[in-house]
Chains A and B, each alone.
Chain A
């Protein structure tokens, strides 16, 4: 009963958060704190009623995961609060452990058709992107064909013809996907903006140090870090102007909470399917 209440509450609150996120890539602070508060309340009740090692491990690993996503620049702070809240509210659901990861995976995969469609459309609309993709394929085709052949032979001896063909085709599919991703990354998923056109919340794709130079990897004394999905602040934009930086490469972004919402619904349906069948 407790899990069902937590699920419905999460569904309802995620719906409200999605509305704000969709509108402005921002969720009101009180909603983020509410998720965390509710998470702690439900987790405390869980601890005293039917706590198991698996529940603890599920909740703990999901919270650590969300912090890691923030650290590596994948998520903004609002996403961390909300995902951690959901993880504490629903560490497992109807006996399915690691439920937060199911929600996350379902959410990410539910976006695949839209993201893929957008990328395919943009790559083939943009001449430079199309050329980059085709040249990547042309340059590495025979080398990758060789690897695929080796894979085919290895799996042919281990399992049989069908598995061999599957492995070779799978490898080729990955090669195409990676080439496509590289072409999309440079020409579709990133854009160069003049510093005057930068907006608050734009996610930088490069790090800039105090002398206005582009820095690769981890470094201290950064004015702008590429590992921050919260995006640029107005102060940082001013600082970039004062350093004389003329333009900055930024990553295109999308709101994440609607995906989590879709993920919660899909994960709920998967659990329902597992229970019924």
Chain B
């Protein structure tokens, strides 16, 4: 089976990963979603994983 990817896609995906990581970090630190995310994880653990 063919197993290859075009360099164009690879660059686009790489850039997207970097941009997504930067935006997430910025949102996490600046906009202040840190507490909401931590609350979500806590709720998820309690409700679905049982603690």
Contact = CB atoms under 8 A, between A and B. Distances in A.
Contact of B5 (A17, A26, A177, A229): A229
A190 interface: yes
Contact of A251 (B6, B15, B19, B49): B6
Contacts of B7: 115, 189, 251-254
A53 interface: yes
Interface residues of A, number: 51
B19 A76 contact: no
B9 to A, nearest CB: 5
A203 B4 contact: yes
A27 to B, nearest CB: 5
A212 interface: no
B2 A115 contact: no
Nearest to B30: A159
Interface string B11-42: 11111011100100000001000000000000
Given A159-B30, A189-B7, A201 B14 contact: no
B6 to A, nearest CB: 4
Q: Is the interface of A mostly helix, strand, loop or mixed?
A: helix
A44 to B, nearest CB: 22
Contact of B1 (A76, A111, A174, A189): A76
B9 A78 contact: no
B3 A17 contact: yes
Nearest to B13: A108
A115 B15 CA distance: 12
Given A53-B48, A115-B11, A74 B1 contact: no
A170 interface: yes
A15 to B, nearest CB: 14
Contacts of B22: 170
A255 B4 contact: yes
Contacts of A75: 5
Interface of B: 1-15, 17-19, 22, 30, 48-49
Interface of A: 17, 21, 25-27, 29, 32, 52-54, 73-79, 81-82, 105, 108-109, 111-112, 115, 119, 155, 158-159, 163, 170, 174, 177, 181, 184-185, 189-190, 201, 203, 229-231, 251-257, 259
Given A26-B2, A74-B9, A76-B5, 16 more contacts: A21-B4, A27-B1, A53-B49, A76-B4, A77-B1, A77-B3, A109-B14, A111-B14, A181-B11, A190-B8, A201-B2, A229-B5, A231-B4, A252-B6, A253-B5, A253-B6
List the 6 closest A-B pairs by CB distance, nearest first.
A78-B3, A78-B1, A251-B6, A76-B2, A25-B4, A256-B5
